[in-house]
């Protein structure tokens, strides 16, 4: 039984240059207690989808069910307004009301909202929520006197204080600095796991998506291009967009040949899926960390590209190299304790199970280019 | 799957849904605003087609006679029009150099005591225009004006008149110019302030001398802004009422606003002729619409030039050297002539049984009395006017601010056609002069039970102050992040509750600002009370005017003193309160 189900959701809004189809037939379901993430670049429709679920935007078509209740259905013209939906939400700006104290911010839904509780129960419930986010000691502080991280926690406490069926998180970590973001990521994950609250998370940050989710849906141009576990999405990207947007990817053009793909760097032996029988050209994709990097020694082995190191940058836990082989440049990761120098001859070994094969048509190329650009922009 | 055509979808999503409070709120706001600004105008236009002796909405014949009379010149339109133009032109010729000079001195030079000058320039805001007029009647009335008496005494003239006479076109221009300088100064200060000084510095470093910078950079950049201010005030003066009423009637100089008032209050052979007043009103609307369109066009133009840099803004102050004391003296002279002289006369007169000029020969035998003030406690007349005024201004301020809060919320958040219509309609009173707006209400309600009630006066005030306060709340509303409201909706609070608990609460500083602005303006206003108040609903303005008209200056003066003191107290307390709200 799923807690949230979205079926063929469409949303359109009017911009200065005419109508924009922000969401195009998005369908997915979130099981009770799961952490589900919509991942994509800005403008991909992930926030619009979330806002439709919260009732802050009105879709143009589709159906949304939260728990047992249909909150939006175009066919039967059901539109439940935001304040009657059983959701809690944390906004990107936190939206902490500056005229109230921390306590009153968190207590607001219990005092004024549809989840009103008797006066006597407000204090213990607010205190429990504040303790959960470790802010119990700041209850009487005026809200503007809080740091960014503390405001974030208040926003979270306010969203969970009335124990909603569904927690919606709209890029909640994007306004925090890098160190704090990492801390909060872990804390948030632990908290929702402890409360066993169904969570829908929206982010453009792949690390957040991979680290926190049970399921990730990658969105691009208003559509879900891949849904799967973090491992699926990262290790077995089903679309060129996912491959190039989530994490870094090397691309290699080639043609199908007996038992593998013939490339500018020789034959790469990999299992060939059925569709390749009709494909003239294909694209091979592999992650920088999928490659084994070794100093060149003797003749070139199978599934190996020989090149020379043309760039390296030390980022702490790893060394990122650029290896040039004839016309192509590949991103590769290496051991920071055993560095290569610029100009060193190296061999890249491509294990056949870590190389992804995709059609080499125009559509794939366009998607790859778009994803690379968007990933760079994020 | 197949989804209907885009047009069908849009129609479907824009249909009002059951229980959608936000749609209901937007409709309520739009209809209220439409009632306030559209219906009165329609009734006024209808009135132009009704013969004398017929109420605008009564059954009966229609006629074009009001227009033919108007066109044939029987109503004396051209004289009135010429007077209005001369009056506005003369006032601007006198006021603009004064206001600009003072704005320049306070904003761009090192004139001493700047912060004190800023405070002092706000004093004239709480003083009714009518009070300045009365003060100058006491100073420059042809016979008993104190200034005239002293001049005659000093030069040994045995004439009984002059040399000055405030009851002339020149007198009207002088007093009006004094009165508008503070508001004009305030707007010009912001024109000067919005100018990015780095633009001037760039010219200086390009090797242009100071005069060249002034002529080639500063002046062209500020010109649209200054022109906009000039046009705004020209319209305001062409349609102003108080000073033409206080001085022009005696002087025999009728302008548009006083002409309308005279037609309405005159009962000609037992038959009122609201139709010809409405035709004059229509002329005022045309002047207002043309002028305000020009004004808005210029404002847009000047905002294109405005480069607000925000940070690091430091206008370079021109060093005046020894001249700064001359400059200070000039500003001081203005305040002396505008505030100190007339108000000491009013204060002086308010303690006299009958007015006697403060001449040396009289000083021993002045008819001192506290009677004028003691009368104020007589509830049957004076006390009630204070209570009435307090009720009217507080009710008008509160209902206006509640309405404009909702209108600007709808316009900023909902952006639906209904909400946008409400917002656009609030611009209309800007182009409709106060006298004409009030005239329209007069015509709409004359003959109905609402006529002669305080409620009608309140409604007229709401309509008149809608424009300014909507702009105020609209820009305040833009500052509120929409997620603050969305967080409340998600918390399970309905839109109406969100509007109340979050929006209104966050807007309190702007709300109180607008509230105070209306209180002070409505309490000082003479237009609406003189057109709409009846014997049962007298306001302070009515009493001041009736005593003044009856030549009982000392009683009129005492009421003014009380009004000014009360306004100063309200503004002072209000500012403190807002200050506390913002901090807390």
Report the alpha-carbon distance of residue B327 to residue B113 in Å, rounded.
11
Residue A210, pLDDT > 70, answer: yes
**Contact (CB<8Å) A97/B502:** yes
Map out the domains of chain A as residue ranges.
2-235, 240-377
Per-residue pLDDT band at B353 (split at 50, 70, 90):
confident
CA atoms within 13 A on the CB side of B328: 14
**Could you write out the DSSP letters of every residue in B102-149?**
HHHHHHHB--SSHHHHHHHHHGGGGS-HHHHHHHHHHHH-TTT-HHHH
pLDDT of residue B225: 79
Chain A hits for B479, Cβ within 8 Å: none
pLDDT per residue over A297-351, tens digit each? Answer: 888 888 889 999 998 888 888 889 999 988 888 999 988 888 888 989 999 998 8
**Contact (CB<8Å) A61/B3:** yes
**Could you write out the DSSP letters of every residue in B455-507?**
HHHHHHHHHHHHHHHHHHHHHHHHTS-HHHHHHHHHTT--HHHHIIIIIIHHT
Per-residue pLDDT band at B111 (split at 50, 70, 90):
confident
Report the alpha-carbon distance of residue A266 to residue B203 in Å, rounded.
66
Per-residue tokens: A313: 């940058």
How many domains is chain B partitioned into structurally? 1
CA distances from A279 to A258, A265, A276, B236 (A): 13, 20, 5, 78
pLDDT of residue A218: 93
Which H or E run includes B388? helix B384-409
**Which of A81, A84, A95 is nearest residue B486 as measured by Cβ atoms?**
A95
Per-residue pLDDT band at B144 (split at 50, 70, 90):
confident
Residue B233, pLDDT > 70, answer: yes
Give me the residues of B, 155-214, that contact A with CB < 8 A: none
pLDDT of residue B1: 38
Chain A hits for B501, Cβ within 8 Å: 108, 112
**Contact (CB<8Å) A61/B9:** yes
Report the alpha-carbon distance of residue B441 to residue B471 in Å, rounded.
23
Per-residue tokens: B202: 């760039």
Mutate to test the interface with A, among B484, B490, B495 (most CBs of A within 10 A): B490
Please provide the CATH number assigned to the domain covering A240-377: 2.40.50.140
**Contact (CB<8Å) B491/A12:** no
Q: How many CB atoms lie within 10 A of CB B41?
A: 20
**Is-same-fold flag (A2-235; A240-377)?**
no
Residue A1, pLDDT > 80, answer: no
Phi, then psi, of A20 in degrees rounded to 5 = -120, 130
CA angle B433, B434, B436 (to 5 degrees): 70
pLDDT of residue A230: 93
B58 shares contact with chain A (CB less than 8 Å): no
Q: Is residue B385, in this structure, part of any structural domain at all?
A: yes
Residue in B43, B182, B4 with CA at minimum distance from that of residue B103 = B182
Report the alpha-carbon distance of residue B43 to residue B54 in Å, rounded.
13
Q: Is residue B4, in this structure, part of any structural domain at all?
A: no
Q: Is residue B5, in this structure, part of any structural domain at all?
A: no
Largest pairwise CA distance in chain A: 80
Per-residue tokens: A219: 């969105």
pLDDT per residue over B248-293, tens digit each? Answer: 888 888 888 888 888 888 765 556 777 888 888 888 888 888 888 8
Chain B hits for A8, Cβ within 8 Å: 1
Q: Is residue B1, in this structure, part of any structural domain at all?
A: no
pLDDT per residue over A245-276, tens digit each? Answer: 888 888 888 888 878 888 888 888 888 888 88
B1 shares contact with chain A (CB less than 8 Å): yes
Q: Is residue B510 packed enough to be buried (19+ CB in 10 Å), middle (13-18) or exposed (0-12)?
A: buried
**Contact (CB<8Å) A54/B486:** yes
pLDDT of residue B305: 58
Chain A hits for B507, Cβ within 8 Å: none
A25 shares contact with chain B (CB less than 8 Å): yes
pLDDT of residue B381: 67
Asked if the bond preceding B163 is cis, omega within 30° of 0, the reply is: yes
Chain A hits for B505, Cβ within 8 Å: 99
Q: Is residue A92 packed enough to be buried (19+ CB in 10 Å), middle (13-18) or exposed (0-12)?
A: middle
**Which of A60, A93, A94 is nearest residue B13 as measured by Cβ atoms?**
A60
In the CATH hierarchy, which fold is given to the domain comprising A2-235? Rossmann fold (3.40.50)
**Contact (CB<8Å) B491/A109:** yes
The three-state (H, E, C) secondary structure of B320-370, written as one string: CCCHHHHHHHHHHHHHHHHHHHHHHHHHHHHCECCCCCCCCCCHHHCCECC
Chain A hits for B483, Cβ within 8 Å: 91-95
Residue in B339, B330, B400 with CA at minimum distance from that of residue B101 = B330
Domain that holds residue B331: 19-45+76-361+371-583
Q: Is residue B71, in this structure, part of any structural domain at all?
A: no
Residue B192's CATH number: 1.10.3720.10
Reported ipTM exceeds the 0.85 cut:
no
Residue of chain A whose Cα is closest to the Cα of B495? A83
Residue of chain A whose Cα is closest to the Cα of B22? A81
Report the alpha-carbon distance of residue B438 to residue B435 in Å, rounded.
5
Given a contact cutoff of 8 angstroms between Cβ atoms, the answer to whether B385 and B392 are in contact is no
């Amino acid at each position: 039984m799923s807690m949230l189900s979205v079926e063929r959701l469409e949303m359109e809004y009017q911009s200065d240059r005419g109508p924009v189809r922000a969401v195009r037939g998005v369908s997915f379901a979130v099981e009770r207690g799961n952490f589900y993430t919509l991942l994509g670049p800005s403008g991909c429709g992930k926030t619009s989808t979330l806002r439709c679920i919260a009732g802050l935007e009105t879709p143009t078509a589709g159906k949304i069910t939260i728990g047992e209740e249909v909150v939006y259905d175009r066919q039967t013209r059901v539109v439940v307004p935001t304040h009657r939906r059983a959701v809690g939400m944390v906004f990107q700006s936190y939206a902490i009301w500056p005229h109230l104290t921390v306590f009153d911010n968190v207590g607001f839904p219990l005092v004024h909202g549809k989840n009103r509780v008797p006066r006597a129960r407000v204090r213990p419930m607010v205190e429990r929520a504040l303790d959960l986010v470790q802010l119990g000691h700041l209850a009487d502080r005026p809200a503007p006197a809080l740091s960014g991280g503390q405001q974030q926690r208040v926003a979270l406490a306010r969203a969970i204080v009335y124990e909603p069926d569904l927690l919606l998180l709209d890029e909640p970590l994007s306004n925090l600095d890098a160190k704090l973001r990492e801390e909060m990521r872990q804390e948030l994950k632990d908290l929702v796991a402890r409360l066993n609250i169904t969570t829908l998370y929206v982010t453009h940050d792949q690390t957040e998506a991979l680290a926190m989710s049970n399921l990730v849906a990658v969105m691009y141009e208003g559509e879900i291009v891949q849904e799967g576990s973090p491992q699926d999405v990262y290790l077995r990207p089903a679309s060129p967009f996912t491959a190039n947007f989530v994490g870094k990817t090397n691309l290699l053009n080639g043609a199908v040949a007996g038992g593998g793909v013939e490339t500018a760097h020789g034959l790469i032996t990999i299992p060939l899926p059925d569709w390749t029988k009709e494909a003239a050209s294909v694209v091979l994709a592999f992650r920088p960390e999928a490659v084994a990097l070794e100093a060149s020694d003797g003749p070139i082995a199978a599934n190996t590209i020989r090149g020379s190191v043309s760039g390296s940058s030390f980022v702490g836990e790893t060394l990122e190299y650029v290896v040039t082989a004839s016309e192509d440049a590949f991103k590769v990761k290496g051991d920071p304790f055993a560095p290569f120098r610029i100009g060193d001859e190296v061999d890249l070994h491509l294990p056949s199970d870590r190389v992804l094969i995709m059609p080499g048509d125009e559509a794939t190329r366009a998607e790859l280019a778009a994803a690379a650009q968007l990933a760079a922009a994020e | 799957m197949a989804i209907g055509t885009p047009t069908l979808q849009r129609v479907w999503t824009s249909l009002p849904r059951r229980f959608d409070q936000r749609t209901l709120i937007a409709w309520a706001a739009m209809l209220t605003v439409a009632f306030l600004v559209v219906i009165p105008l329609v009734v006024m236009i209808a009135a132009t087609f009704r013969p004398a002796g017929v109420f605008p909405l009564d059954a009966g014949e229609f006629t074009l006679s009001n227009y033919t009379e108007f066109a044939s010149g029987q109503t004396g339109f051209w004289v009135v029009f010429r007077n209005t133009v001369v009056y506005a032109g003369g006032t601007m010729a006198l006021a603009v150099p004064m206001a600009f000079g003072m704005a320049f001195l306070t904003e761009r030079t090192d004139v001493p005591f700047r912060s004190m000058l800023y405070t002092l320039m706000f004093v004239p805001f709480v003083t009714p225009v009518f009070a300045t007029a009365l003060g100058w009647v006491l100073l420059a009335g042809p016979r008993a004006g104190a200034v005239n008496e002293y001049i005659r005494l000093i030069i040994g003239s045995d004439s009984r008149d002059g040399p000055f006479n405030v009851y002339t076109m020149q007198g009207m221009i002088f007093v009006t110019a004094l009165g508008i300088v503070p508001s004009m100064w305030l707007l010009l200060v912001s024109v000067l302030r919005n100018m990015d000084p780095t633009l001037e510095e760039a010219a200086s470093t390009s090797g242009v001398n100071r005069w060249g910078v002034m002529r080639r950079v500063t002046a062209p950049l500020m010109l649209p802004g200054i022109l906009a201010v000039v046009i705004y005030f020209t319209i305001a003066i062409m349609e102003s009422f108080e000073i033409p009423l206080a001085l022009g009637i005696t002087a025999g100089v009728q302008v548009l606003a006083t002409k309308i008032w005279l037609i309405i209050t005159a009962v000609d052979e037992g038959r009122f002729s609201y139709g010809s007043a409405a035709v004059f009103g229509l002329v005022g609307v045309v002047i207002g619409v043309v002028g305000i369109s020009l004004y808005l066009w210029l404002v847009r133009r000047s905002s294109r030039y405005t480069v607000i840099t925000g940070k690091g803004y430091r206008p370079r102050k021109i060093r005046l050297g020894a001249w700064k004391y001359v400059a200070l003296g000039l500003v001081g002279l203005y305040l002396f002539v505008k505030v100190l002289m007339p108000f000491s006369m009013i204060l002086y007169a308010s303690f006299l049984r009958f007015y006697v000029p403060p001449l040396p020969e009289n000083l021993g035998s002045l008819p001192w009395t506290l009677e004028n003030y003691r009368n104020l406690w007589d509830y049957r007349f004076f006390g009630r006017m204070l209570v009435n005024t307090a009720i009217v201004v507080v009710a008008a301020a509160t209902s206006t601010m509640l309405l404009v809060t909702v209108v600007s919320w709808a316009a900023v958040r909902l952006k639906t056609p209904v909400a946008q219509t409400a917002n656009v309609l609030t611009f209309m009173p800007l182009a409709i002069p106060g006298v004409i707006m009030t005239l329209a209400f007069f015509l709409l309600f004359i003959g109905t039970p609402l006529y002669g009630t305080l409620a009608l006066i309140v409604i007229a005030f709401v309509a008149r102050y809608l424009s300014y306060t909507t702009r105020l709340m609209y820009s305040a509303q833009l500052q509120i992040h929409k997620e603050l409201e969305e967080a409340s909706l998600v918390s399970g609070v309905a839109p109406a509750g969100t509007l109340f608990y979050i929006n209104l609460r966050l807007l309190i500083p702007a709300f109180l600002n607008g509230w105070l602005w209306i209180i002070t303006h409505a309490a000082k206003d003479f237009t609406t009370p003189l057109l709409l108040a009846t014997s049962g609903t007298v306001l302070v303005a009515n009493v001041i005017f009736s005593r003044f008209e009856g030549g009982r200056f000392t009683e009129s003066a005492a009421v003014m003193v009380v009004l000014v003191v009360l306004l100063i107290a309200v503004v002072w307390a209000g500012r403190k309160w807002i200050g506390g709200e913002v901090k807390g």
